[in-house]
Structure 1
């Protein structure tokens, strides 16, 4: 494990919900939960970005064979402490989310494989893959390397989805990669590992939900997983993007932890923000829980060509509302 003073892993109580069963499009939402601000920035990376997978905030943390690559695809992401990516999508409609999983173990370092520090694992996939199939295929080209900061290891697992509705949940447990690949894998929270979450869900019948259906109401990952499954079965066919995004955000809000809730002693923290995405139309929505408005960004309004500037927006502005694509500003040097 590499100890770094500048980064930390995603929180203990995040939730991802994918809606790929409606006839209008593919939509996804997630919550980000953490005991302090992760200093999120909405960041637009053009194609042709040169990456160094072994660096964190200018510090070399993977010294033996760090991965280096040039991005094939532009991406719009939410960063964490400006040194890694925890959420976002690329110009091809591949979308991804990093969530906390205590059981994560990336295994012993194999210097024969290029190493990518965990905070750039998702960015590596968004840079180099256009579909879930492509992302799964390149997983073994690199080795994810654990980093630790502020007393917490970056024990993360990933959920990814693409514009066709394909999905994958990727975990490293006991040093072994485990991939759950298929459009049926629509929900992800945290511990226990995914196979155990699926086993718990199989014991419940949410196929015909009603007002009398017993439903767990706590904020632990098991209960949130089951609540997301239940409410997902209640979603009506959307007539518009507005209705579709409202639906997936409603599920994200239902599994959110109230701001300031004193759950820290249990390893469960308040929801800092929620995101949603329309994968077909490349529209990304962001809702900071301390701001009154949802904002969104349209990737196609930016210059995505190699050599174009990296563009950043700080969402911690109470005056932001609606389409904020024009409010991004150039940043030099890029965060990573």
Structure 2
């Protein structure tokens, strides 16, 4: 339950129009929610919403792998001063188009997520800074950091570089969290890094930039109509990022204290289902897309739960059941199968790492 900073909500999106103009933003939809109350297991959920399949695959990537942040597949996209590194930690990730991690957790319990942000601007290339193609932004953090603080220090001198794949630019912002419950959100606005670093930074959607989402949060907290919420509390019900932010914030405050990991996982999946975009409605006509998958990560037990919306089952992988030590083979699992469900750790198969 969210007690230390009570999350309230405005009475409908009309009240937000002057502060957060929806018409000025695209509405590609993803949502991230962190559940990090002291003394409990730390969990995070996300939805992936996209105009087409991202061809998601799960990869177990051992420590010791060498990476080149200047390449996008076989193509060199950062010709000058590319960032190159060797993974310190193994990780389990969900990839998009086999070009980079968009979701995942490492063996130390650091997790992260890339979400769309219209206003992303990494700035003109500064060749004095190591360049990292944006599709590997998250992977670099998972490979090399054990905590949010370590990740921020590692990422500070690095410049993400915009790429385009499958007709889509990597206009993304990055959320990271660790097993202590720490949290950070990194955005590039006008070519400058904007960093929000606090365990209180729990709910994040796409647009607007996170600073404006915090303005919305303050408005929600000050609305007397929602200090004592009830079943009659009016909630915005559309699928745009602002409405999803409000619903995720509102319902997160009611999460019950879980008795088991199963209880906690189910509770988080219920929040992510509430902010998902149902399949089949004509949302593409106004720039919002169906939810392709939902994930929940238990950072305390290093367990990755995954559910394609077209598959009726949830699968899970405990990182402790994988060999992620240096020298171990990389492994993969295609989650697109009606028989994929339950503990799938034994269903991974060796693969050449895609990046």
Normalised by the shorter chain, which TM-score bucket?
over 0.9
Cα distance in 2 between the residues matched to 1:18 and 1:48: 29
1:57 pairs with 2:73: yes
1:223 pairs with 2:239: no
Superposed structure 1 runs of 4+ greater than 6 Å apart:
none
Tell me the residue number matched to 2:300.
280
Tell me the residue number matched to 1:77.
93
The 8 Å contact of residues 25 and 280 in structure 1, kept in 2 or not, is answered as yes
Tell me the residue number matched to 1:5.
none
Shift, 1:305, TM fit: 1.4
Shift, 1:36, TM fit: 1.2
The structure 2 residue matched to 1:130, chosen from 135, 139, 146, is: 146
Q: 1:207 to 1:244 in 2, by over 3 A?
A: farther
The structure 2 residue matched to 1:175, chosen from 191, 213, 226, is: 191
- What are the Cα deviations for residues 121-167 of structure 1, in whole angstroms up to 9, with x where unaligned? 00000001100000111112311000113332110001110000000
Shift, 1:199, TM fit: 0.7
Cα distance in 2 between the residues matched to 1:23 and 1:254: 26
1:144 pairs with 2:154: no
Tell me the residue number matched to 1:248.
268
The 8 Å contact of residues 102 and 191 in structure 1, kept in 2 or not, is answered as yes
Cα distance in 2 between the residues matched to 1:183 and 1:282: 19
1:160 pairs with 2:176: yes
Tell me the residue number matched to 1:326.
346
Q: Secondary structure in 1 aligned to 2:149?
A: helix
Cα distance in 2 between the residues matched to 1:167 and 1:200: 19
1:95 pairs with 2:123: no
The 8 Å contact of residues 207 and 233 in structure 1, kept in 2 or not, is answered as no
Cα distance in 2 between the residues matched to 1:204 and 1:143: 34
Cα distance in 2 between the residues matched to 1:187 and 1:262: 26
1:315 pairs with 2:335: yes
The 8 Å contact of residues 209 and 233 in structure 1, kept in 2 or not, is answered as no
Cα distance in 2 between the residues matched to 1:134 and 1:266: 39
1:17 pairs with 2:36: no
- What are the Cα deviations for residues 169-196 of structure 1, in whole angstroms up to 9, with x where unaligned? 1111111101110100001101111111
Cα distance in 2 between the residues matched to 1:251 and 1:208: 20
Tell me the residue number matched to 2:12.
none
Shift, 1:94, TM fit: 0.2
**If the length of structure 2 is used for normalisation, what is the TM-score?**
0.90
The structure 1 residue matched to 2:259, chosen from 227, 239, 249, is: 239
Tell me the residue number matched to 1:185.
201
Shift, 1:265, TM fit: 2.5
1:67 pairs with 2:83: yes
Tell me the residue number matched to 1:114.
130
Shift, 1:207, TM fit: 5.2
Q: Secondary structure in 1 aligned to 2:307?
A: strand
Tell me the residue number matched to 1:305.
325
Cα distance in 2 between the residues matched to 1:14 and 1:296: 21
Q: CA RMSD in A?
A: 1.2
Give the unaligned 5+ runs of structure 2: 1-26
Cα distance in 1 between the residues matched to 2:259 and 2:277: 29
Shift, 1:22, TM fit: 5.9
Q: Secondary structure in 2 aligned to 1:18?
A: strand
Shift, 1:234, TM fit: 1.1
Tell me the residue number matched to 2:7.
none
Q: Secondary structure in 2 aligned to 1:138?
A: helix
Cα distance in 2 between the residues matched to 1:76 and 1:207: 40
The 8 Å contact of residues 99 and 158 in structure 1, kept in 2 or not, is answered as yes
Q: Secondary structure in 2 aligned to 1:195?
A: helix
